[in-house]
Every structure is written in structure tokens, then in C-alpha cells.
Amino acid sequence: DGKKVAEAVKKDLKKRISKLGFKPGLAVVLVGDNPASELYVKLKEKTSKELGFHFELHRLDKDTDELALLNLIDKLNQDKKIHGMLVQLPLPKQIDEKLIIDAIRPDKDADGLSPMNMGNLLSGNNKVIPATPKGVIKLIESTGIKIEGKRAVVVGRSNIVGKPVSVLLQQKNATVTMCHSKTEPLEEHTKQADILVVAAGKPRLITADMVKKGAVVIDVGINKVMGKSIGDVDFDDVKKVAGYITPVPGGVGPMTIAMLLENVLQCIWLQGKLKT
């Protein structure tokens, strides 16, 4: 239950924030009017305000050019009220995502996706860990199962989820296999997994016959099918064999927001404004 685990994280955050002596500041930049992005941003705003954050939403038109967005990022980089920020992805086609993420100060990068933070993660010198992968690890750990020595399979190799999750699992001493759209046959790998993380963006890709009995299954996928949100895992089928499984919605989603806000406190620490 991602909501339950996230609530425990938020409770701890609230306690830490009350001792700060100032409001942690989070800025979110939203370009265009993507309905999914609108929803994610609303949830981030709601949770931020509940926990006592100073929250700023900066909306830009879908026709905004790179220069206007870079100027806004530069302004937020220098704003002392803002301790962490993110640019909501995906961005419109005329904007280079890599260029934009690279422009965010690494010690204000609440999403943990800047090249410096990703490079630190790869070298084992973790500074700001990408929010969704951090939430995935927290969910696995909440089962009480030891990650060390387990066989983990990650389906999907995106920079946002697949790659960082595989690195974090390796840091926890799991033996990791990465699968993707060109992996054949996929079930040969997934059936070996004690821990299966699926972030492929394909509805109900994973079925019960592809899962090892008793496995921990984390479904990061969120797909709209006939107006309903469903994951990359066929939940009703796979729950019959899995030891633990996350639902969609209510699994990884709430954890991503909780981890994002935890990352803002990590940014404050990196900026030297937090002693513990």
C-alpha cells in the first residue's frame, strides 16, 4: 500500500520541517496543458502545502521557447526562497529536455535527474536520488525482505526509472538483470526474479505465468485504458502468485511525491542550510 508507506514518510517530514525554523521552498514549472502533468502537479501542490512547504507553480504556454524556460530556471536557481525545483516532464517538442534538466542547479534538483546527480548515483556517491526509484526501493524495503543477495529484474530502461532503479538495487547488493522492448523471451528473465520492477509503459504486459511464486512485484507503469488507470502488470492475475504487489493507482505514485518532498530537504542540506 503505497499510500500507507507514503503517509509514514510524510509524518516524518512534517516533524523535520517543524524544526527547520523556515519554510522549505519547492518550485514546479509546468509547460503546456498536458492533462496527466496537470494532475501530477496538483497532487504535488496539495501535499507540499499540507506539509508546510512554500510552493510555487510557474505556468508557461505550450509554445514557450527554450530561452524563456532557461531564463525562468536561472531565476529560480538564484531565488533564496526556493530550495528545490523541477520542470514537469514531458516537455513540448520544441524544447530539449536534456538541456533543460542540465540547467537546474544540482543542489536544487528535487527530481534528482540532472547529469551531476545521475553521475553521482552511478559512482555510488548519492546526493539527490531520483524520486520514483527512491520510492520503489522504500516500497521493497517496507516488505521486510532483505534485498541483498536477491535476484532482481527491471523491465524498462528509461533515465527516469529503469536505469536508476537498477543502480540502486545493485547498491543494495542485489543481482540485477535489465530487460527492455528488445529482450526475448522476456518471461525467461522475469520468472527468475525475487524482485520484479516493471516500468515499460505497456498495459498488463506482465501476467501470472511470467512471475516467480512469492516475488515482490513493483508496478511503476500508469496507462490510460478506456478512461481507467492501469499498470504494466495484470494486477488481478499476478496477485495470485506474487508475495507482494503494488496496485495502480495507489502504489508507486504516492511514494514519488513523498520522496520528491524528502529530496527538497536533502537539497537544503546540500546547500548548507541544514545541520542534520
Is residue 20 a contact partner of residue 271, using CB atoms and an 8 Å limit? no
CA distance 116 to 107: 10
Q: Locate 122 and state its grid cell.
A: 552511478
Catalytic residue check, 44: yes
Catalytic member of 88, 107, 163, 234? 88
Is residue 195 a contact partner of residue 147, using CB atoms and an 8 Å limit? yes
Nearest alpha-carbon partner for 265 in 72, 42, 107, 135? 107
CA distance 54 to 210: 45
Catalytic member of 111, 194, 219, 234? 111
CA distance 65 to 252: 32
Is residue 9 a contact partner of residue 259, using CB atoms and an 8 Å limit? yes
Q: Provide the H-helix boundaries in 180-251.
A: 186-190, 235-238
- Please identify which residue in the block is written with the cell numbers 536505469: 163
Catalytic member of 10, 44, 108, 127? 44
Catalytic residue check, 108: no
- Please identify which residue in the block is written with the cell numbers 523535520: 16
Q: Is 26 helix (H, G, I), strand (E, B) or coil?
A: strand
Write the DSSP symbol of residue 19.
T
Nearest alpha-carbon partner for 27 in 134, 143, 108? 108
Catalytic residue check, 88: yes
Please report which helix (H) or strand (E) contains residue 164, including its range: helix 162-171
Q: Locate 8 and state its grid cell.
A: 509514514
Which residues are the active-site residues? Answer: 44, 88, 111
